[in-house]
Structure 1
Amino acid sequence: MVGRLHFGTAGIRGEMAAGFNRINDLVIIQTTQGLLRYLKQVHKDLSTCSYVVGYDGRHNSERFALYVANVLLNGGLKVYLFAQVVATPLVSYAVKKYGAVGGVMVTASHNPKKDNGYKVFWSDAAQIINPHDMKITQAILDELEPRPENWDLSKVRQRECCVDPLQDVFDSYVKDILIIMPFLQYAVFRNLNEKASFKMTYSAIHGVGYYYVPKMLASFGFPEKNLVIVEEQVRGKAFWQIILCVCSAVIINGYFLFLL
């Protein structure tokens, strides 16, 4: 209980447990209240502003994201809250796409499974830097008492100003990649991919790729039947009981195995 988690340019990250120096519901609410307080100092009218919130597949990530969205909604912002786990770059991309004033990604990245975190992006879609981090830190300390309404998660996703951007962002992201890197249009060979007979075995290794990789391969023209997904290593397995060695690609009995 001694001290608080340090809020820096990467937001906060730590073990999920009780206490002000751990990641938990209260600390998430306090952090977001401070973030909201600072946003009110920067922007005159938050009712004209929007914010993006995403989360990974770790335990409690979705609930923490709901708390973040709830506090921001109660503060008058429109919130783009992803309906399911998402890769961190898509949160950053969504900030730019929608002209949002910032974004929060609930993730602890490569940290151990007992950890979680809170990564903050500014309106430029980049990770916050000084002086934003210092001013948010002070704003958190100025409003540590959680507002009663910020505890209620019962209807967060049903609120009028809460929008799921998942499909819109993903489709736009794929299109923009082809615009930014036009050579990919000539490397995809959809006409050949549609006729491919080989099998691809895919493992998300308990990450967020299980939704996005099949869709990406489909956009390249590969038939759905060609992809074999390791079901034991997709969502709902956040304690990561299966450990795999790190490899880029390997062919086993005619199957192309790749990990992401």
Structure 2
Amino acid sequence: MPKRVRTGLTRSDILDRYVERFKQQLIKFQPFLSRKRGTASLEDFDESAEELIAQVFGAASDQSEAYFFAKTGESALLPEEAQESGTHNIERESLQQRRQVLESCLADLELRRRLQATRKKKGIETALVEEYMSHDVRSIHRDATIKQAGQLLQKHKVGSLIIDDGSRYIGIVTDSDLTRKAIAKGLDPNTTSVATCMSRPLVTIEEDELLSEAMSLMKKQSIRHLPVTADATIIGVLSVSDLLRAFEEQKTP
């Protein structure tokens, strides 16, 4: 068994290093988006990006799967015009999907770092869910197709949709659900219903609960979008980006 060696690094130091490495990875990716290709090939970049994601989040993590599907261009979230206009637009959207996965990884790490840094601050401990949730609730019927759900996410620039059956909410689907679950199962986005990819039962939290309770619930359930209720009626959604904003605002000047 390999000998365990103490590096002298704290958890905060390690998070700082990971955050910096993802920032550098995004900088290295810019030439591919601007078409000003440097000496490095896209294949080499993909290899280094996948190694970094696997090291930080795990080779079998959602992040690793999302990058793989973005790299192969097999995304249910590609806009209709990209799917119909030919290879060039699909390749462009594949690059954008790569960038979004890397940015999501960076946001996750920054949230962890801020949570660790502000854990003992009273401000964040007393904040309520209603103070930071988004009131923009978007829903879609369970019989709608995966493609329609992807188009709705793109149109409204949101990360999740609440699924309804015509009379009540029954689940939730996120952009990563569409990318991972649909493609991983080889489902046709034009004919498969969005209910196939939704998560249920619907996990919610009341608007007057502490933000710290919401964070604990999201961590326990391994979710990044949490519907918010008022007397059992959904009135908003709390996401990881909302939590990041909360930590940003609670920083000591």
| Bigger fraction of residues in strand | 1
Q: Same fold (TM over 0.5)?
A: no
TM-score range, shorter chain: under 0.3
TM-score, with structure 1 as normaliser: 0.24
TM-score, with structure 2 as normaliser: 0.24
